[in-house]
């Protein structure tokens, strides 16, 4: 009905839709064959080093450059940097069964949806709405392809947002332009956007998830056209109209979720906004910075418990956000904050001397923030800070 109202010939639309789906599916499966997700841990580490270079050698070069510039790290600081690099390589675990085959099942499920939609096409055309149902299998293939590509990167130790890896160049260029309005710009892995909750997201999700899930299940049940526990499915024409509610709820939620982020680059901080370009802060716009141990829901924490450290940042416009202290995406924030804590001023990114110091704090900034950037609230917190600082070279 909706396509007929647009003046489109329904028979030709069905044929074109079917051909377009299988072309799109073939393009995605071609990437799966050329870049399979299946890989072991040892092989994955070798792939990472071949693409990104040895992180151990990078640390050695960074230490040498600092020494040549007159900044000599202590043996404990060098050991901490190497331990952190070794831990990075050890964290590469390769792929698993869910990652390897889970997204393949979604491809198969999309094909089943296409068959059912093709059979019931005319029922939806005359008594319902076609567009939501015709889009569903394409969205499922997109979901499976995205899952597979992100899994390919994660299994090999890359950031899931490094879209130039795991796909042919022509794919990355085309898809990158198409998806640019829906994501933040990633300058480097250590500057990945950190997605945060926007106000009302929990309430919206509480309402949208059960309502949208109900209409989706009703549509899929009608599409299967089979009785389930003596429940006769509703006529597909009616559920195809109700299925439109799922899109009405999902589109604004996904848009707001993707556009709500903070991104810490070497020079500025970017905060994503729903319908505007990102707001840019200078690091000097940070008014307060605090590091503190977080005990979760435990009201009687043990002395050896505080491992979930956090940091909260407040900007000049009174906006603030809390981040995981050991999240690699805030490395640049930590470097600038450590510079501020020790130098009692913000770094001038246009000054070569300040940039050299920032390189030093990029390596040891967390130790500085642990000693200077927290406010003890009790004796237990003070002991936790002292213990972690003392053993930092072993735990970083």
Residue 198 CB-density burial (10 A; 0-12 exposed, 13-18 middle, 19+ buried):
middle
Residue 295's pLDDT is 58
Query: Which one, of 365, 353, 351, lies nearest residue 289 by Cα?
Result: 365
Residue 180's pLDDT is 59
Q: How far is the C-alpha of 384 from the C-alpha of 390, rounded, in Å?
A: 10
Q: How far is the C-alpha of 391 from the C-alpha of 76, rounded, in Å?
A: 10
For the chain, domain boundaries: 41-90, 197-259, 264-395
Task: List, in order, residues 6 or more apart from 321 with CB less than 8 Å away.
Answer: 196, 262, 312, 313
Query: Which one, of 183, 204, 346, lies nearest residue 278 by Cα?
Result: 183
pLDDT in tens, the chain (396 residues): 576 666 677 888 899 999 999 999 999 999 998 888 888 888 888 888 888 888 777 777 877 877 777 777 777 777 777 777 777 787 888 888 877 788 999 999 999 999 999 988 888 888 888 889 999 999 999 999 989 998 898 888 888 877 788 888 887 777 766 665 555 444 455 677 887 776 666 677 777 888 888 888 888 888 887 666 666 777 888 888 888 888 888 888 877 777 788 888 888 899 887 777 888 999 989 888 888 776 555 545 444 444 567 888 889 888 888 888 878 788 889 889 888 888 888 988 888 888 888 888 887 788 788 777 765 555 655 666 666 555 544 434
Looking from the CA of 271 toward its CB, the CA atoms found within 13 Å total 17
Buried/exposed code over 83-107 (b: 16+ C-beta within 10 A; e: otherwise): ebbeeebeebebbeeebbeebeebb
Residue 112's pLDDT is 93
Residue 261's pLDDT is 86
What's the 3-state SS for the chain?
CHHHHCCCCHHHHHHHHHHHHHHHHHHHHHHHHHCCCCCCHHHHHHHHHHHHCCHHHHHHHHHHHHHHCCCCCCHHHHHHHHHHHHHHHHCCCCCCHHHHHHHHHHHHHHHHHHHHHHHCHHHHHHHCCCHHHHHHHHHHHHHHHHHHHHHHHHHCCCCCCCCCCCCCHHHHHHHHHHHHHHCCCCCCHHHCCEECCCCCHHHHHHHHHHHHHHHHHHHHHHHHCCCECCECCCCHHHHHHHCHHHHHHHHHHHHHHHHCEEEECCCEEEECCCCCCCEEEEHHHEEEEEEEEECCCCCCCCCCCCCEEEEEEEECCCCEEEEECCCHHHHHHHHHHHHHHHHCCCCCCCCHHHHHHHHHHHHHHHHHHHHHCECCCCHHHHHHHHHHHHCHHHHC
Q: How far is the C-alpha of 168 from the C-alpha of 120, rounded, in Å?
A: 36
Q: How far is the C-alpha of 386 from the C-alpha of 303, rounded, in Å?
A: 12
Contact 335, 358 (CB under 8 A): yes
């Amino acid at each position: 009905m909706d396509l007929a109202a647009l003046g489109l010939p329904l028979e030709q639309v069905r044929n074109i839709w079917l051909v377009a789906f299988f072309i799109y599916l073939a393009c995605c499966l071609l990437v799966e064959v050329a870049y399979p997700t299946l890989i072991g841990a040892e092989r994955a580490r070798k792939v990472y080093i071949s693409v990104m270079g040895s992180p151990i050698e990078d640390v050695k070069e960074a230490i040498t450059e600092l020494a040549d510039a007159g900044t000599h790290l202590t043996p404990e600081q060098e050991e901490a940097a190497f331990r952190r690099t070794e831990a990075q390589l050890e964290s590469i675990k390769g792929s698993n069964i869910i990652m390897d085959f889970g997204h393949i099942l979604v491809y198969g499920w999309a094909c089943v949806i296409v068959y059912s939609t093709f059979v019931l096409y005319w029922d939806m055309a005359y008594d319902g709405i076609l567009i939501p149902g015709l889009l569903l299998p394409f969205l499922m293939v997109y979901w499976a392809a995205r899952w597979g590509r992100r899994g390919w990167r994660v299994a090999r130790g890359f950031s899931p947002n490094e879209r130039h890896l795991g796909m042919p160049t022509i794919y990355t260029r085309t898809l990158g332009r198409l998806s640019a309005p829906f994501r933040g710009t990633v300058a480097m892995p250590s500057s990945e956007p950190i997605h945060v909750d926007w106000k009302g997201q929990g309430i919206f999700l509480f309402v949208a998830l059960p309502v949208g899930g109900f209409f989706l299940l009703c549509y899929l049940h009608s599409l299967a056209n089979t009785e389930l526990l003596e429940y006769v499915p509703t006529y597909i024409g009616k559920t195809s109209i109700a299925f439109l509610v799922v899109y009405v709820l999902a589109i604004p939620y996904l848009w707001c979720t993707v556009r709500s982020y903070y991104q810490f680059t070497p020079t500025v901080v970017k905060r994503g906004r729903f319908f505007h370009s990102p707001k840019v802060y200078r690091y000097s716009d940070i008014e307060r910075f605090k590091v503190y141990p977080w005990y979760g829901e435990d009201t009687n924490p043990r002395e050896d418990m505080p491992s979930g450290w956090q940091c909260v940042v407040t900007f000049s416009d009174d906006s603030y956000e809390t981040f995981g202290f050991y999240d690699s995406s805030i490395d640049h924030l930590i470097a600038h904050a450590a510079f501020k804590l020790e130098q009692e001023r913000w770094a001038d990114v246009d000054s070569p001397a300040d940039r050299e110091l920032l390189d030093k704090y990029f390596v040891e900034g967390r130790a500085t923030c642990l000693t200077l950037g927290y406010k003890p609230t009790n004796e237990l917190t003070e002991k936790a800070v002292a213990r972690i600082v003392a053993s930092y070279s072993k735990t970083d």
